[in-house]
């Protein structure tokens, strides 16, 4: 029996594990992938700017730091196990995983993020054959795109960020999006223009034209409702249309959990759900004051842990201050300094 089981090992789950350790709770993380880090693995080379007090770091650097922090208090970690259902039995929570294992806890924090299963594929016949050559749904390395003509399809923050990341490296970057205006941060949109990214508003991909050998995409045919058809020469194509969501955990759990749009957990600003003892953190949590940033996930996590602590022990303090004089943190800092000195 654990004090808290955290479902999901992304930023929200890892910070939940750190904070629950700080509050001396017996903690377990269950992650469906064989690794920790969550959605950040989708963009390992992308620069992450939105963590307060942390200079811009790559996604991979942030993962490494989050994992190290999350393991500070030695939580139990279960990888490669998908939680299929959550059930309340005699006041405790029973979690059943895909392998048939049962995990028991006094409280639960759901931190499964966007429930990523796979990127949304381009709905054009024959597109899948180019996935082995120059059609991409993730960008694991920027090196491939140096001095290339790159077309990115999508109007999300991710698509805008990729365009800005690649603009200084690529020969040319085209950004294709369906709406009239981009909905991103103003500074990011300004940077697109400053860096000379070619914008194709109200446009969509109609056809992928292959080279003479039929192996690679040579041209992308775009369709605009009033301007008609346009052809763009390309070397690489990136599709950034979001990800399919998996709501099976919430669908198959026999608990009266209130939801929003079927997928999100309806909660409050303290990360509490409609089920006593069950909390949510990160993208899965929905409330009026929700902030969909990594920094927001950290706040969700701390709130969830504090609520879980008081659910178990009503006399516990409402919150815990992170102190550099904590015994385990002192030990962690000492090891970090030794590592830095060794590198020097």
- What is the model's pTM? 0.83
Q: Which of 47-56, 65-74, 110-119, 167-176 has the lowest mean pLDDT?
A: 110-119
Instruction: Quote the pLDDT of residue 258.
Output: 93
Average pLDDT for residues 91-101, to the nearest whole number? 96
Residue pLDDT, tens place only, 222-276: 999 999 999 999 999 999 998 888 888 989 999 989 999 888 999 999 999 999 9
Q: Which residues are annotated as a binding site for FAD?
A: 31, 39, 43, 83, 117, 283, 324
Structure tokens at 26: 């017996």
More confident residue, 28 or 52: 28
More confident residue, 117 or 214: 214
Query: What does DSSP assign to residue 270?
Result: T
CA gap 158, 304 in Å, rounded: 27
Instruction: Quote the pLDDT of residue 54.
Output: 87
Residue pLDDT, tens place only, 196-219: 999 999 999 999 999 999 999 999
Q: Which of 7-21, 90-104, 134-148 has the lowest mean pLDDT?
A: 134-148
Q: Can you spell out the DSSP letters for 78-111? A: EES--EEEEEEETTEEEEEETTS-EEEEEEEEE-
Query: What does DSSP assign to residue 272?
Result: B
* Residue 323 pLDDT > 60: no
Q: How confident is the model at residue 65 (pLDDT cuts 50, 70, 90)?
A: very high
CA gap 266, 288 in Å, rounded: 10
Average pLDDT for residues 271-290, to the nearest whole number? 95
What number of CA atoms fall less than 13 Å from residue 120's CA on the CB side? 12
* Residue 85 pLDDT > 60: yes
Q: How confident is the model at residue 116 (pLDDT cuts 50, 70, 90)?
A: low
Are the C-beta atoms of 165 and 59 separated by less than 8 Å?
no
Give alpha helix (H) positions in the chain. 11-22, 59-70, 157-166, 186-194, 248-251, 294-312, 327-343
Average pLDDT for residues 48-69, to the nearest whole number? 91
CA gap 43, 161 in Å, rounded: 10
Identity of the highest mean pLDDT range in 93-97, 159-163, 314-318: 93-97
Instruction: Quote the pLDDT of residue 262.
Output: 80
The CA-atom distances, in angstroms, between 279 and each of 31, 39, 109, 292, 301 are: 17, 20, 5, 17, 9
Are the C-beta atoms of 49 and 164 separated by less than 8 Å?
no
CA gap 277, 266 in Å, rounded: 14
Q: Which residues are annotated as a binding site?
A: 31, 39, 43, 83, 117, 283, 324
Ramachandran angles phi, psi of 316, nearest 5°: -70, 155
Query: Taking all residues of the chain, what is their mean pLDDT, rounded to a whole number?
Result: 91
- Residues carrying CATH 3.50.50.60, the chain: 2-117+243-343, 121-239
Query: What does DSSP assign to residue 145?
Result: G
* Residue 302 pLDDT > 70: yes
Percent of the chain topping pLDDT 90: 73
CATH fold for domain 2-117+243-343: FAD/NAD(P)-binding domain (3.50.50)
Class at the top of the CATH hierarchy for domain 121-239: alpha beta
Neighbours of 300 (CB within 10 A): 29
* Residue 113 pLDDT > 60: yes
Q: Tell which residue, 70, 88, 58, has the closest CA to residue 28.
A: 70
Residue pLDDT, tens place only, 217-237: 999 999 999 999 999 999 999
Which helix (H) or strand (E) is 118 found in, with range? strand 116-119
CA gap 151, 44 in Å, rounded: 20
CA gap 280, 3 in Å, rounded: 15
Instruction: Quote the pLDDT of residue 68.
Output: 95
């Amino acid at each position: 029996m654990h004090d808290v089981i955290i479902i999901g090992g992304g930023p929200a789950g890892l910070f939940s594990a750190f904070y629950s350790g700080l509050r001396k709770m017996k903690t377990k993380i269950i992650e469906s992938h064989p690794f920790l880090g969550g959605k950040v693995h989708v963009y390992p080379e992308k620069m992450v700017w939105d963590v307060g007090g942390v200079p811009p770091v790559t996604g991979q650097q942030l993962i490494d730091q989050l994992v190290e922090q999350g393991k500070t208090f030695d939580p139990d970690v279960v990888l490669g196990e998908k939680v299929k259902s959550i059930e309340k039995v005699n006041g405790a929570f029973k979690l059943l995983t895909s392998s048939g294992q049962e995990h028991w806890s006094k409280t639960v924090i759901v931190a499964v993020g966007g429930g990523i299963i796979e990127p949304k594929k381009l709905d054009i016949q024959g597109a899948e054959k180019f996935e082995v050559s120059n059609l991409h749904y993730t960008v694991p390395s920027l090196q491939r795109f140096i001095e290339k003509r790159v077309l990115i399809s999508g109007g999300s923050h991710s698509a805008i960020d990729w365009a800005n990341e690649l603009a200084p490296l690529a020969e040319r970057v085209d950004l294709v999006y369906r709406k009239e205006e981009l909905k991103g941060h103003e500074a990011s949109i300004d940077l697109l223009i400053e860096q000379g990214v070619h914008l194709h508003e109200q446009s969509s991909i109609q056809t992928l034209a292959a080279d003479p050998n039929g192996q690679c995409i040579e041209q992308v045919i775009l369709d605009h409702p009033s301007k008609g058809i346009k052809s763009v020469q390309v070397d690489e194509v990136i599709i950034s249309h979001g990800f399919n969501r998996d709501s099976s955990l919430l669908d198959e759990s026999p608990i009266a959990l209130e939801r929003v749009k079927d997928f999100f957990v309806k909660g409050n600003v303290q990360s509490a759900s409609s089920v006593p003892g069950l909390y949510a953190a990160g993208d899965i949590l929905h409330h009026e004051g929700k902030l969909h940033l990594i920094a927001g996930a950290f706040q969700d996590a701390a709130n969830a842990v504090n609520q879980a602590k008081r659910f178990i022990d009503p006399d516990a303090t409402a919150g815990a201050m992170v102190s550099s004089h904590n015994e385990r943190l002192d030990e962690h800092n000492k090891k970090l300094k030794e590592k830095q000195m060794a590198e020097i």
